[in-house]
């Protein structure tokens, strides 16, 4: 075998690198496809319920396209689960014993690109809660309602949180906590961006 052929063979046999957001997008797409198949649903059915095109959802499942958080929310609803369950695959989380603890390094965080808004899942495989850091801009084009309780802490910039018929402008260091079942939406002012830490109650069994 020639040196060139040997080099090609070694390159083909080498493990794929974990390329951050792209790798996370492939993992998310695989989870969506696996859950869709377990539900016995076609791509067309899920896409229609999520108000997405069939071709776009197919690209998402293959890790070739990335969804906004709004689209992910709709896909999760169509599949009878939640965003954080799809992001963390917590149905496969191991049962934790009392007194067990884990340290998560920055390099272990799961990076995603949710439609141009960077999102980082800080800890996985824990059914009790899901901590994430979200950055970018938010528009109030959709009301969110979920069963899980949620905590939001502003790290940078400003964020307006609307809870039912009440509106709260949050600055750096401000936080809000709300129970499940409360309609809410977030927005940033025109030309502004923000960075927030969110901790959402886990959804064990949502799959």
The tens digit of pLDDT for each residue in 143-169 reads 888 888 999 999 999 999 999 999 999
pTM, full prediction:
0.63
- Give pLDDT, residue 136: 85
User: Closest Cα to residue 28, out of 103, 119, 96, 94?
Assistant: 119
User: Closest Cα to residue 90, out of 50, 132, 46, 31?
Assistant: 31
In this predicted model, which residue has the larger pLDDT, 159 or 104?
159
Strand partners, 166: 163
Neighbours of 185 (CB within 10 A): 17
As a whole number of angstroms, the distance between CA 139 and CA 152 comes to 16
The tens digit of pLDDT for each residue in 110-150 reads 666 555 567 777 776 655 778 888 888 887 777 888 888 99
Neighbours of 31 (CB within 10 A): 21
Exposed / middle / buried, residue 191 (Cβ in 10 Å: 0-12, 13-18, 19+): exposed
Judge whether residue 185 has pLDDT over 80.
yes
The token pair that represents 14 in the structure block: 């080498």
Sequence spans of domains, the chain: 21-88, 115-201
The DSSP call for residue 90 is G
As a whole number of angstroms, the distance between CA 198 and CA 152 comes to 4
CATH fold for domain 21-88: 434 Repressor (Amino-terminal Domain) (1.10.260)
On whether the CB atoms of residues 168 and 161 are closer than 8 A, the answer is yes
As a whole number of angstroms, the distance between CA 8 and CA 22 comes to 24
Q: What is the pLDDT confidence band of residue 71, given thresholds at 50, 70 and 90?
A: confident
- Give pLDDT, residue 58: 93
CATH fold for domain 115-201: Jelly Rolls (2.60.120)
User: Closest Cα to residue 146, out of 178, 176, 116?
Assistant: 178
């Amino acid at each position: 075998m020639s040196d060139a052929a040997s080099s090609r063979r070694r390159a083909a046999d080498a493990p794929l690198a974990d390329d951050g957001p792209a790798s996370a997008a492939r993992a998310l797409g695989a989870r969506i496809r696996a859950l869709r198949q377990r539900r016995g649903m076609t791509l067309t059915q899920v896409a229609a319920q999520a108000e997405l095109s069939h071709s776009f959802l197919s690209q998402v499942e293959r890790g070739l396209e990335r969804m906004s958080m709004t689209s992910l929310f709709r896909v999760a609803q169509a599949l009878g689960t939640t965003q954080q369950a799809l992001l963390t695959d917590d149905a496969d989380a191991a049962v934790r014993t009392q007194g067990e603890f884990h340290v998560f390094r920055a390099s272990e965080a799961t990076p995603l690109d949710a439609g141009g808004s960077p999102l980082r899942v800080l800890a996985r495989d824990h059914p009790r809660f899901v901590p994430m850091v979200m950055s970018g801009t938010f528009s109030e084009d959709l009301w969110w309602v979920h069963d899980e309780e949620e905590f939001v802490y502003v790290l940078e910039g400003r964020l307006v949180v609307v809870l039912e018929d009440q509106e709260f402008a949050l600055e750096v260091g401000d936080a809000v906590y709300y129970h499940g079942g409360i309609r809410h939406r977030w927005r940033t002012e025109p030309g502004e961006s923000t960075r927030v830490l969110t901790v959402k109650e886990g959804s064990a069994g949502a799959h």
